[in-house]
Amino acid sequence: MRIIFVSNRLPLNVSHENGKIQMKQSAGGLVTGLSAYLESTKGSLDTIWVGWPGKELDRESLEFVKKEAMEKYNGYPVQIPDALNEKFYYGFCNKTIWPLFHYFPTFTEYEPSAWDAYVEVNQLFCDALADIIQPGDKIWIHDYHFLLLPGMLREKYPELEIGFFLHIPFPTYEVFRLLPGKWRKRLLEGLLGADLIGFHSHDYTQYYLRCVLRILGLETNLGEIIYQNRLIKVDTFPMGIDYDKFARLACSEKADRIMSETRKSIGDNKIILSVDRLDYSKGVYARLEAFEKFLEKYPKWQGKASMIMIVVPSRTEVDQYQEMKRAIDEIVGRINGRFASLDWTPILYQFKMLPLDELVPLYRMSDTILVTPYRDGMNLVAKEFIASKTERKGILILSEMAGASKELGEAIIVNPNNTEEMSEAILEALEMSEEEQITRNTVLQNRIKRYNVVRWATDFLEKLSLRKGFQNKLKSKLISSETRSEIFKTFSKAEKKLIFLDYDGTLVPFQNKPELAIPNQELKDLLGNLSRMKNAEIIIISGRDRDTLVNWMQGIDVSIVAEHGAWIRERGKDWRLFKQAPSDWKPRIRPILEQNSDRLPGSFIEEKNFSLVWHYRNADPELAEVRVKELTDDLVNYTANMDVSVLQGNKVIEIKNTGISKGYAGLDLVNIHNPDQILSIGDDWTDEDLFKALPNTAISIKVGLGPSNARYNLKDYIEVREFLKGLANEA
């Protein structure tokens, strides 16, 4: 099995030294994490990493880098021209998606040319992948740079296994909808090209599902979505770290050396640590204000506590990052100027990336760490700090807005907007008893150790493999060309055939207004041809009322079953009431439906002889989802002692007499005609009654994917029409 990882940056740094190209493996949360996973598989996996090499290269250098990267690192560089990358990376990725998804709408830019660049780069990666993809490959796409890529790949490779993981938060509907309509729709649909979509926390998963419901109108069930006849799973996978690596680095000799050197400059002071990339989402400025407040409120700690602050340069070309750097420099200067003494500097500030084996000793020796982002997908620093706590002493202060807070409840949890609360948290951390610290860290360490990065990646990739199984199960019932020919052959041999056809969703697509689903000439011709088949009886079996069906089937020689089996009109005969059923329940149920219609704009009630139908296709989908659950529950309880059943259909709730169903009416016709072959096609729960009632030899077909009593599936009404055309010609 081969896995292709796709991320924005290739885990390689390409540089020119003495006129020669040099390549070095680079580190980072994702790289470190996935390397640990690959090591755990002990070389049993064949992998390729696809990404941007970090700079635009001339043709000759690119060829060299491509060859070297593949030979030495299994890397496959994708070139992005600088001008395009400017609009893609610094533009749409980091001036649109990043700020918006981190709840900074005021920093968000909606620049059409940046969107175009985003589409272009996603396409560029799709084309590059096409050069290397082989049958049986699994693709795992990472992060917000490639929200469109799964969809683009899916168009080219209907069978490819595609997984996607988002490392940043997915925002709520109210924030996501700030994106222009076309963009937000395409971004959601782009992700639906994947078989499995993963997020760090349950909230992000729910927010994505809600956006899919509200913006694309697709209903979801336990995180599963049926889209373009594929079953997609959306799930939560909280990313872990390479725990052992941090635990190991923390007790290395180098760690001991760095700790004693640091102690020399800092003395016995308590250490408050802060480690982040330079990013406004990380809340560095507010954290400094909290430290200032702490020193102000608790002067006894002046000279006794120092903050070590590491800020790693990042995205320095984006305006907000430059402004932020200036603001941080300024406040550090102010605090140090205000409180420093000859032998004490409150904040020891470094604007650089430390080697990991120098960072880990700082994690180990610090008394507390302030991880206080305004928003963070997960935050690995928090977990790394805990893993490095060899003595289990030192307390994590963690923002409730970080994904990690959902897992690390034993930390001191703070609101990053509340400077007061953060300053109190510093005091609480510094004064906490050692016993309490050890208790909390023991629990945290056990948890982080268990769900480490290897578990995370294994879980994701295993779930991805399972998806194909589910999809194949669904697909196995789809009618293949061989099955189709067999059905036609069986039918041509039969001496008496009965063909039941549901109407809405089976022969025609759903319309916003039910009265618009009129048959077009193509459908009329098709039904006409079918009705002229030798020894065949065509029955249109629908939930619609008699008048509509008679009107629409004028001039076509077919039998009709109306109102889900309440009325039957056989060819050349008059309507007969199949079963007398009381309708005294209607005046009692109608007010309940009316009350709900008033509460859900866009919904309406339809009354038929033996049923009441509440339609909500045109209502706000999210509101409808809530109302439908409530209403179904109310109705089921209310009708417990009545001879009626409550059924949920395609954007409708229908209440009808229990003794009436397509199953009963269909069986009646089967008994009358005594056919030696039966075909039945339908798309919803009312057709399931018929599928269940028919003899085992009947050929039953459900339209659309999903669980069903039918023997086969066809994808949609277009395939149904194709199938029936073939049947009329060949059987």
Q: What is the DSSP letter of 86?
A: I
Q: Does 292 bind ligand GDG (CB under 6 A)?
A: no
Q: Which one among 65, 234, 271, 359 touches ligand GDG, defined by CB under 6 A?
A: 359
Q: Does 457 bind ligand GDG (CB under 6 A)?
A: no
380 vs 646, beta carbon nearer ligand GDG: 380
How buried is 152 (Cβ within 10 angstroms: 0-12 exposed, 13-18 middle, 19+ buried)? buried
At CB < 8 A and 24+ separation, what contacts does 490-494 make?
A: 490/677, 490/699, 491/677, 491/679, 491/727, 491/731, 492/730, 492/731, 494/535, 494/675, 494/676, 494/677
274 vs 597, beta carbon nearer ligand GDG: 274
Residues 242, 367, 502, 684: which is the catalytic one? 502
Q: Tally Cβ neighbours within 10 Å of residue 548.
A: 16
Q: How far is Cα 25 from Cα 13, in angstroms, rounded to an integer?
A: 6
Q: How far is Cα 381 from Cα 369, in angstroms, rounded to an integer?
A: 9
**Closest C-alpha among 178, 135, 129, 134 to residue 149:** 129
Q: Which one among 259, 312, 533, 592 touches ligand GDG, defined by CB under 6 A?
A: 312
DSSP string, 548-610: HHHHHTTT---EEEEGGGTEEE-TTS-EEES-----TTHHHHHHHHHHHHHHSTT-EEEE-SS
Q: How far is Cα 511 from Cα 508, in angstroms, rounded to an integer?
A: 9
Q: Which one among 310, 335, 526, 693 touches ligand GDG, defined by CB under 6 A?
A: 310
Q: How far is Cα 40 from Cα 399, in angstroms, rounded to an integer?
A: 32
3 to 42: interface string for ligand GDG, x by CB under 6 A: --------------------------x-------------
Q: How far is Cα 53 from Cα 22, in angstroms, rounded to an integer?
A: 12
| Total residues binding ligand GDG (CB under 6 A) | 20
Q: Give the 3-state secondary structure of residue 699.
A: strand
Q: Which one among 161, 195, 367, 376 touches ligand GDG, defined by CB under 6 A?
A: 376
Q: Does 379 bind ligand GDG (CB under 6 A)?
A: yes
3 vs 310, beta carbon nearer ligand GDG: 310
Q: Does 380 bind ligand GDG (CB under 6 A)?
A: yes
- Least Å distance, CB 587 to ligand GDG, is 57
Q: How far is Cα 610 from Cα 589, in angstroms, rounded to an integer?
A: 13
Q: Does 277 bind ligand GDG (CB under 6 A)?
A: yes
Whether 127 is catalytic: no
Segment interacting with ligand GDG, rule: CB under 6 A, options 130-138, 375-383, 601-609, 618-626: 375-383
Q: Which one among 137, 242, 384, 545 touches ligand GDG, defined by CB under 6 A?
A: 384
With the C-alpha atoms ordered 246, 252, 254, 257, is the resulting torsion angle positive or negative?
positive
411 vs 628, beta carbon nearer ligand GDG: 411
Q: Does 698 bind ligand GDG (CB under 6 A)?
A: no
The H or E element containing residue 448 is helix 434-450
Tokens of 540: 């249109």
Segment interacting with ligand GDG, rule: CB under 6 A, options 154-162, 380-388, 447-455, 632-640: 380-388
Of 223-252, binders to ligand GDG (CB under 6 A) are 239
143 vs 654, beta carbon nearer ligand GDG: 143
Segment interacting with ligand GDG, rule: CB under 6 A, options 17-25, 149-157, 353-361, 518-526: 353-361
Q: How far is Cα 721 from Cα 380, in angstroms, rounded to an integer?
A: 54
Segment interacting with ligand GDG, rule: CB under 6 A, options 188-196, 264-272, 370-378, 691-699: 370-378
171 vs 682, beta carbon nearer ligand GDG: 171
142 vs 544, beta carbon nearer ligand GDG: 142
Q: Does 378 bind ligand GDG (CB under 6 A)?
A: yes
135 vs 355, beta carbon nearer ligand GDG: 355
- Least Å distance, CB 375 to ligand GDG, is 8
Q: Give the end-to-end CA distance of the chain in Å, rounded to a whole number.
A: 44
Q: How far is Cα 232 from Cα 512, in angstroms, rounded to an integer?
A: 26
Q: Which residues sit at the interface with ligand GDG, rule CB under 6 A?
A: 29, 167-168, 239, 275, 277, 310, 312, 353-356, 359, 376-381, 384
- Active site (catalytic) residues: 502
